[in-house]
Chains A and B, each alone.
Chain A
């Protein structure tokens, strides 16, 4: 072990056999905020966890860590939490795994939650993986369904083997039972300003002097939320750096722009618009995949769309197996032509005709 072990995270875990599972209760949701802005997935989790807490007859608790986060705690109550636990200190802004991890460890030891849900964002996964270890918690990544069984055990379901199988993961002998869920899997509930709940400030156990990381710069730009979009046009590797045809089509359809991981990795589209296993789950009425091959990791994120259209010049591209309508053709020709046809077509314009088409970038 390193002598400058900053956060005691390497303390010996509690001996496996001796976890008194009955001593643990309540459902916690980690509310991920950055500078006061909450990631939507946290609200999605609160909505879903409300049902779990009701099934268990236990409290739903929002865990809010950050600086000046009283408003966030208040909103968490409005969005379904019975109580909020707030760790408020400059050491928690911006997010760092080591101070967050140490604060969480202390809270779990003291308060003993039965279930902890965390958004599957980069920050959420960074946090979840870190905190599950000292607690010797069971952690299931990227769940798509959550439930509790007759014994009150969390049943965390996640796709396995390329999505053909849904595996149910349980954690019988360890607490807390933890799960991460990717953005867009559940729907967020609207806030109810009449809801009341207690906001409790907890002791901050972390000292800046003990941290082992320093954030030198943080730049966040496009944080588009594509999970609520009714129509999506998604760009893939086939675009070859030129997004104009895709944007024109998105514009004509009054749709939001999204992308495959390839298009994101190439830097053509921002990461907040990525669809798929390591991006967002979307379920629009219409999903148009442009120059996207249809890898399982992509399809997983768009399979709940109502109508899927694929534009690809390779007739054997797997995307055609996951599409309702496909055109085999060059996207640089098909997109502008379809955009024009959409603009002209009476039938296609439909009820949207009176709405000014507007770029959604």
Chain B
């Protein structure tokens, strides 16, 4: 670690789940028309990163791999309090699954001199949660997933996390550098300050980095480097439900008595 820790936070632009509409012709969800927003779990990641800076100093840099339009989420991250932001963008990244995505973010972390890379639990559009461990594996760093509390012991080159494990928790100390994925819903995000917001909207320009800039060859990323491919899509018929709304408890009890559960 240098004198001041560099904390990188990964944020991704995703379609707004609340605004996803059903296409009346096909009955499919129409994600393309939904407005793009910051992946909700990444708001928690952002807060965790800013919290580390509050405790231990240093700088927080938001990073996104995506098309130029993803600049919007970087502006938002800067408005909320990030010192800087980087857009990792290149046509060569198109079609990346989690393997090259995590490679790209790992390379970006190195270019930016990261000591800590904070991520969200998972994205709402691809929902794999594999990118953070993938980044850690590419770099050979420690990883702390499902983090619900962070305690920087940076003087000892250590970050301590309380991790949510099924049915309990554990406290894990990791040597820096480290990748953290915070549990969704933990680290309540702070609001954007007015001053910061004006700055983000008017003056701020993100750092822009291509594959080459972060030391990657075109064939190491994108679809060519993606081990998985979509072999097919099938529509799933929605589960048929009675959808009876009853007036009161007695009526519900009567209906239930007719069902196989109680019959």
A and B: real partners?
Answer: yes
**Interface residue ranges, A against B (CB under 8 Å):** 1-2, 4-10, 16, 39, 94, 96-98, 101, 121-123, 125-134, 136-142, 155, 159-174, 212-224, 231, 261, 265, 270-272, 277-278, 285-286, 296, 303-304, 306-309, 315, 320-329, 334, 337-338, 341-342, 345, 347-350, 352
On whether A213 and B174 interact (CB within 8 A), knowing A155-B231, A164-B28, the answer reads yes
Report the interface size class on chain B: 35 or more
Q: Smallest CB-CB separation from A221: which chain B residue?
A: B168
On whether A169 and B228 interact (CB within 8 A), knowing A10-B140, A277-B127, the answer reads yes
List, in ascending order, chain B residues with CB within 8 A of A326's CB.
243-246
Which of B129, B232, B242, B260 gathers the greatest number of chain A CB atoms within 10 Å? B129
On whether A162 and B20 interact (CB within 8 A), knowing A272-B166, A285-B261, the answer reads yes
Assess whether A5 is in contact with B253, with CB atoms less than 8 Å apart: no
A170 CA to B231 CA, complexed, in Å? 6
Assess whether B172 is in contact with A214, with CB atoms less than 8 Å apart: yes
Main secondary structure of the interface of B (DSSP, over half): mixed
List, in ascending order, chain B residues with CB within 8 A of A127's CB.
133
* 12 A-B pairs with C-beta separation under 8 A: A4-B175, A10-B138, A132-B98, A133-B133, A166-B235, A214-B173, A216-B171, A272-B166, A315-B245, A325-B246, A342-B253, A348-B256
**B36 within 8 Å of A (CB atoms):** no
Assess whether B130 is in contact with A122, with CB atoms less than 8 Å apart: no
A5 CA to B166 CA, complexed, in Å? 29
Tally of contacts, chain A with chain B, CB under 8 A: 285
**B252 within 8 Å of A (CB atoms):** yes
A2 CA to B179 CA, complexed, in Å? 13
Assess whether B143 is in contact with A348, with CB atoms less than 8 Å apart: no
Find A322's partner among B174, B241, B255 (CB 8 Å cutoff): B241
Find B140's partner among A7, A132, A222 (CB 8 Å cutoff): A7
Assess whether A213 is in contact with B172, with CB atoms less than 8 Å apart: yes
Which of A97, A162, A163, A167 gathers the greatest number of chain B CB atoms within 10 Å? A97
**B13 within 8 Å of A (CB atoms):** no
Assess whether A338 is in contact with B166, with CB atoms less than 8 Å apart: no
Q: How far is the CB of B209 from chain A (nearest CB, A)?
A: 19
A94 CA to B172 CA, complexed, in Å? 11
Q: Smallest CB-CB separation from A157: which chain B residue?
A: B234
Q: Which 5 A-B pairs have the closest CB atoms?
A: A129-B133, A220-B168, A138-B227, A133-B137, A5-B140
Assess whether B164 is in contact with A324, with CB atoms less than 8 Å apart: no
Q: Smallest CB-CB separation from A342: which chain B residue?
A: B253
Assess whether A168 is in contact with B228, with CB atoms less than 8 Å apart: no
List, in ascending order, chain B residues with CB within 8 A of A122's CB.
145-146, 163-166
**B99 within 8 Å of A (CB atoms):** yes
**B92 within 8 Å of A (CB atoms):** no
A217 CA to B169 CA, complexed, in Å? 8
